[in-house]
Amino acid sequence: MSRHLPILIVLCPLVGALIVPLVGRVSVRAARGLTVLATMSSLACAVAALREVLSGDDWHYHLGGWAPPWGIEYVVDPLGGGMAVLVALLATLVAIYAGPYLRGFSSLRGATFDSLFLLLTGGLLGITLTGDLFNLYVFLEISSLAAYALLGSGGERAVVATFRYLLVGTIAASFYLLGLGYLYALTGTLNMADLAIRLAAVPSGSAATVGVVLIVVGLAVKMAVFPLHGWMPDAYTYAPPPVTMFIAAVMSKVSAYALIRLLFFVLPAGDAVATARDVLGWVAVAGVLAGSVLALPQKDVRRMLAYSSIGQMGYIVLGVSLGNAAALTGALLHVGAHAVAKGCLFGAIGSMPRQTVQVEIAGFAGAARRAPLTMAAFTVAALSLIGMPPTAGFFSKWYLLRGALEADAWVFAAVLLVSSLLSAIYFFRLLEQIYFADGPPVSEPGQASGVARRSWRVVAPVVTLGAIVLLIGLFNGALVTSVIERALPEL
């Protein structure tokens, strides 16, 4: 079976999504167990496939035995395989984390939630592994549709926020598809490797430019890059905790992966791509600053983290825009670092007792005494977003800074430093509440429900993510030389 690993990574969650609603009728526990099992086996397959690829060549798998460019192929290379491991890891932890949240649900609702979660996971994994541009669109839609349903399940305000995301996200997906249509019309192929060869032979004209612009704008909306981020803060704020944890961690990163894949591996390095990268650079600068500044006055912690995500996505886009080896290393390292840290932060917030509808900063007073482990993980993740050594965020920002200096982009370097300062301000405001403010007395009624929510299934994933943030930081050298340097395009 081991020669089928690339397809098994995607099949485990997709088949699981179909079985879970049927099993859920008989036994809710079995359905929950199946969800965790599906994500875990997907993670095991992804790790095994990545190991295989790191010790040898890229792995091409032809669906239905049809050779590309006619058939659809899945490709595991260090870049795609690494992303698959990241997505599957977060999915496994969130699948465990969701257990206590789903306790009060009817068996049908619970099974539907799990099924949608597995569909979302399968869709995101498909994007990371497919070698076919149209297949990428299909997986983009699978993951987006599942995400709309999951985000909307958080109550009335979530429905309104999600409907907005649905409209914007559908337009973005149409942009991607339309751009893909232009490239298909020019070359007659949808296979990424084949398209890269054929497109290089096509003289650059307005059709190719329009295609590139549409694809970049479509993916930028999905990534919530600054001026196109409007859907994101509300959607993240009102969604159920496990959903925000997963979607904030990996969904925008997978779109960022798709952008990197297209800009550096598929589209030829002509005028259109160079201009797109220039524009993205200034957009990223605006996004980094705007995200950090807008995060400052927020009272709701989830909303603050959502705006911080906009700033952090700016870092990744900045790395893509600079495009030299150091900057791309930083961007890829930041994809991993930010995914793990954001998952940890949203997970920790979701484990807090829900006294009020909004999770206000003042509500965190004295939280360190009530939940020391969770808050320790929260602190590590927050320090990583600020960029303090030895956490993962320091090293990704270090590579980005080096990339900016190598390219003589002094403005970008200055923006990196200023935004780190701003994020230090808004995170330390929160950390002060957590560690130094007096919390409510232990006998308060909200406290009891808080303890009930904090079972090991909630604490363990959050603490694991916090530990991974530290581990990525401590072993960043090994990670960069063994995976990320091999994932870089030939520059």
Partner 1 sequence: MRSRFGSPVLDASARLLAPFMWLFAAYVMVHGHDSPGGGFQAGVILAASIVMLRLVRGGGTGSGLSSRGALTLACAGPLLFGGIGIGSLFSGGNFLDYGALPLPMDPVQVRVIGTLGIEAGVMLGVTGVLVLIFDVLASWDDGTV
Residue nearer to partner 1 on the CB measure, 60 or 402: 60
- Partnered with residue 59 across adjacent β-strands are 76
b/e map 329-358, b = 16+ CB within 10 Å: bbbbbbbbbbbbbbbbbbbbbbbbbebeee
Q: How many chain residues are in contact with partner 1, going by CB under 8 A? A: 17
Among 63, 388, 413, 467, binds partner 1 (CB under 8 A): 63
Residue nearer to partner 1 on the CB measure, 11 or 479: 11
Of the ranges 16-24, 276-284, 435-443, 454-462, which one interacts with partner 1 (CB under 8 A)? 16-24
**Contact, 338 vs 472, CB < 8 A?**
no
- What is the distance between the alpha carbons of residues 396 and 416, in angstroms, rounded to a whole number? 11
Positions in 22-61 near partner 1 (CB under 8 A)? 22, 25, 61
Of the ranges 17-25, 165-173, 262-270, 300-308, which one interacts with partner 1 (CB under 8 A)? 17-25
Residue nearer to partner 1 on the CB measure, 108 or 425: 108
Q: By C-alpha distance, which of 127, 120, 141 is closest to 240?
A: 120
**Contact, 354 vs 449, CB < 8 A?**
yes
Residue nearer to partner 1 on the CB measure, 109 or 429: 109
Residue nearer to partner 1 on the CB measure, 13 or 82: 13
Q: How many CB atoms lie within 10 A of CB 82?
A: 26
Told to check if 138 binds partner 1 by CB under 8 A, we report: no
Told to check if 7 binds partner 1 by CB under 8 A, we report: yes
Helices (H), 152-251: 156-187, 192-201, 206-223, 232-238, 241-246
Least distance in angstroms from the C-beta of 45 to partner 1: 13
Among 56, 65, 104, 203, binds partner 1 (CB under 8 A): 65
What tokens does 268 get?
């030829």
Among 56, 64, 203, 477, binds partner 1 (CB under 8 A): 64
User: Which residue in this structure is represented by tokens 């086996």?
Assistant: 41
Least distance in angstroms from the C-beta of 98 to partner 1: 20
Q: What is the dihedral of CA 313, 316, 318, 324, to 10 degrees?
A: 180
Residue nearer to partner 1 on the CB measure, 22 or 451: 22
Among 29, 51, 70, 108, binds partner 1 (CB under 8 A): 108
Told to check if 14 binds partner 1 by CB under 8 A, we report: yes
**Contact, 192 vs 131, CB < 8 A?**
yes
- What is the distance between the alpha carbons of residues 376 and 380, in angstroms, rounded to a whole number? 6
Residue nearer to partner 1 on the CB measure, 37 or 63: 63
b/e map 456-467, b = 16+ CB within 10 Å: ebbbebbbbbbe
Residue nearer to partner 1 on the CB measure, 15 or 269: 15
Residues near partner 1 (CB under 8 A) are 4, 7, 11, 14-15, 18-19, 21-22, 25, 61-65, 106, 108
